[in-house]
Every structure is written in structure tokens, then in C-alpha cells.
């Protein structure tokens, strides 16, 4: 959909703020929620309210132009309309600090999804992926691209050597990179938080409570 689970916003934005990217590529930008939030939490909270003062470059690619409006065109530095895989091929290696693949991976067949992730890691230093868990979906809003074509599991991301895999709300959230900076402090912080959250989930499961 042109939107995503609101319950995952805090997890994803916390990761983005810890990564501190100066350039972001939003893949399948949809309604532009993460473009707005990145602009707010990376520019506006630093006191850069006016567009002419913005320092963070936020670009987006959207394969279904009817989702786009003047709101997104204001927030993003650049919006590309068209096929995402073809568009990615036109970028130079490591063009961005961060690529966002939020609820887009499930729209590819598994083999094409793997190639897509390889291209994401070529284009961006770090790739942040969010993919729903077992969430079937057909075409919506007159957009055939909305169909879910593959399910991704934690093991899939482990095979890709993801340095961080989190269980979000009905989703997996993972970081990928060709050369991930393992010394980043936020990895230890996020892993500690995730360990505690897993203990809470297991405790609630044993009590028969909803997680």
C-alpha cells in the first residue's frame, strides 16, 4: 500500500536517527510518510525549518505516479516516477548513505527481490528493510504493483548476513550493507533493547497474553 503499519514508525525512525544519514533514497515512497518523517527528524529538529536551509538530501522512487502529489514534491529533493529496478540501475555505486525499502520487498518474486536488495546495497551504504510477516495482498487502488508476491522470514535475512534483524509489528525490520560499520554504538543499544523486548514477549506468551 502507499502506507505502512504505524506501529513500526518509532522503531524505524529511531534507527534512521541513529544512522544519521546525510542522503536518503526512499524506494517505493508511496504517500511519502518516511520522507516527511526523515525531513522532520533530521532537518527540522536541528532548527532548519525553511527549505533553503535543509541539509539532508531525500530522494524517492515511486512506480505508481497517482500516489504522488505536491506535498511529496515539496518534501523530497527529487522524485523519480517509474520502474524501481530500472531506476536503480542508473545510480552510481554508494550514491546514498541510506536506502529505505519499507514494505516494498514483498512485492517482488523472491529471486527478483534478492537482486533488488543487491542493487540497494550497491547504491547505498546501508539499507533499511521492513517487510510484513505473512500478509497476503492483491492489487489495490487500481495499482497492480500492490500485489504481494513473496514472503520473507528471519532466516532469509540471516542468509544475507544482516547485522541487525528486529521483530517489528507484524513485520521483520533488518539492516543490510556490503561493508557495515560494526563499530556503530547504536547497534549495541538496539540489540540490547531487542533482547529485553524478546524477554517481555516470551513472558507474555507464557502467560497467554497478546504480544
Cβ-contact 176, 129 below 8 angstroms? yes
> What secondary structure letter does DSSP report for 102?
E
Residue 183 has pLDDT above 60, yes or no: no
Task: Spell out the domain ranges in the chain.
Answer: 6-180, 181-211
What is the second-level CATH architecture of the domain 6-180?
A: 3-Layer(aba) Sandwich (3.40)
164-168 sheet: strands from edge to edge: 78-81, 57-62, 23-27, 96-102, 124-132, 171-176, 164-168
**Helix and strand counts by DSSP (H, E) for the chain:** 7, 7
What is the per-residue pLDDT across 61-117, written as a single tens digit (0 to 9) for each?
987 677 788 989 999 999 998 888 888 988 999 999 999 999 888 878 888 999 999
Please state, in angstroms and rounded to a whole number, the distance separating the CA atoms of residues 34 and 92. 23
pLDDT, mean over the chain? 83
Confidence of residue 3 (pLDDT cuts 50, 70, 90): low
Three-class SS of residue 183? coil
Q: What is the mean pLDDT of residues 12-28?
A: 93
State the residue for C-alpha cell 532469509.
156
- Total residue length of the chain: 211
More confidently predicted of 82 and 187: 82
Please state at what angle helix 33-42 crosses helix 9-19, rounded to 10 degrees.
50
Top mean-pLDDT range of 86-90, 150-154, 165-169, 172-176: 172-176
More confidently predicted of 190 and 31: 31
Residue 178 exposed, middle or buried by CB count within 10 Å (0-12, 13-18, 19+): middle
- Which pTM was predicted? 0.82
Q: What is the mean pLDDT of residues 136-160?
A: 69
- Of 181, 5, 124, 14, whose CA–CA distance to 116 is shortest? 124
- Of 104, 207, 208, 84, whose CA–CA distance to 148 is shortest? 104
pLDDT of residue 1: 46
Range with the poorest average pLDDT among 41-55, 114-128, 130-144, 161-175: 130-144
Amino acid at each position: 500500500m502507499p502506507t505502512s503499519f504505524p506501529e513500526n514508525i518509532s522503531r524505524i525512525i529511531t534507527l534512521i536517527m541513529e544512522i544519521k544519514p546525510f542522503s536518503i533514497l526512499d524506494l517505493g515512497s508511496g504517500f511519502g510518510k518516511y520522507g516527511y518523517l526523515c525531513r522532520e527528524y533530521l532537518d527540522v529538529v536541528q532548527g532548519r525549518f525553511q527549505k533553503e536551509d535543509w541539509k539532508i538530501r531525500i530522494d524517492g522512487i515511486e512506480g505508481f505516479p497517482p500516489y504522488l502529489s505536491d506535498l511529496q514534491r515539496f518534501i523530497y529533493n527529487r522524485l523519480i516516477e517509474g520502474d524501481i529496478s530500472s531506476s536503480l540501475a542508473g545510480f552510481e555505486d554508494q550514491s546514498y548513505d541510506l536506502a529505505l525499502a519499507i514494505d516494498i520487498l514483498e512485492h517482488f518474486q523472491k529471486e527478483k527481490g534478492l537482486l533488488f536488495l543487491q542493487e540497494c546495497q550497491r547504491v547505498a551504504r546501508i539499507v533499511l528493510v521492513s517487510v510484513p510477516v505473512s500478509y497476503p495482498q492483491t492489487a489495490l487502488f487500481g495499482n497492480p504493483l500492490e500485489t504481494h508476491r513473496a514472503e520473507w522470514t528471519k532466516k532469509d535475512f540471516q542468509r544475507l548476513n544482516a547485522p541487525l534483524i528486529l521483530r517489528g509489528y507484524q513485520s521483520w525490520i533488518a539492516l543490510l550493507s556490503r561493508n557495515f560499520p560494526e563499530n556503530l554504538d547504536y547497534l549495541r543499544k538496539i540489540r540490547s533493547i531487542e533482547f529485553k523486548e524478546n524477554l517481555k514477549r516470551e513472558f507474555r506468551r507464557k502467560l497467554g497474553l497478546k504480544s
